[in-house]
Structure 1
Amino acid sequence: MRTRGSGSGLHVKGRKRRAKVVWLGKKGGNGIERKLRELQRSVPGSQGIMEVKTLYQTIENYIILLEAKVTILRSLSTLYGV
């Protein structure tokens, strides 16, 4: 869905809990900085991290943790026949 507002940019909403994309032009600051802030909000425990390298390591660890959880849940699902 694409909506038009007062010309301030593009606003797209997804279904349920999917990500929404907001383009604010120059108001939102540097695009990379804005994306890094979004990553910090998405990954638990990374809000206070200032260095990019440390942030990337934290994100990598979080992704590995999520993958391990998925593997465990799949194994349990297969074991119990769900």
Structure 2
Amino acid sequence: MGRRRFLVWGRGRGRGRKRNVKSCLQRKLRQLERTIPGSHGIMEVQTLFLTIQNYITLLEAKVTVLRSLSTFYGV
């Protein structure tokens, strides 16, 4: 099992902490963006979250269809 890294708000002092938190959040957003198929380049955060919302809705619809087919065919 991999080592989990958590964002810690209490570390650091002054400006450096804000910069570290911002860069950490940007890195996490880039990682999240890479997991979504069809995302191209760097998106605005709002666009990224809308794309994620649409992707989750699509995945839920696929699961519903697959469950229906499974029930229909008795698998």
Instruction: Establish whether residue 75 from structure 1 lines up as the match of residue 68 from structure 2.
Output: yes
Q: Which has the higher contact order (CA 8 A, sep 6+)?
A: 2
Query: Structure 1 regions of 5+ residues with no counterpart?
Result: 2-11, 14-20, 24-28
Instruction: Give the TM-score of the pair, scaled to structure 2.
Output: 0.68
What is the one-letter code of the residue matched to 1:45? G
RMSD over equivalenced CA pairs, Å: 2.2
From 59, 63, 70, the counterpart of 1:66: 59
Instruction: Return the structure number with greater strand share.
Output: 1
Identity %: 63
Instruction: Give the TM-score of the pair, scaled to structure 1.
Output: 0.63
Computing the radius of gyration from Cα coordinates, the structure with the larger value is 2
From 28, 33, 39, the counterpart of 1:35: 28
Instruction: Establish whether residue 55 from structure 1 lines up as the match of residue 48 from structure 2.
Output: yes
What is the one-letter code of the residue matched to 2:58? L
> SS at 2:34's partner residue?
helix
CA distances 1:47-82 after superposition (whole Å, capped 9, x unpaired): 324211001100100000000000000000000010
Query: Structure 2 regions of 5+ residues with no counterpart?
Result: 7-21
When the two structures are aligned, how many residues end up with a matched partner? 61
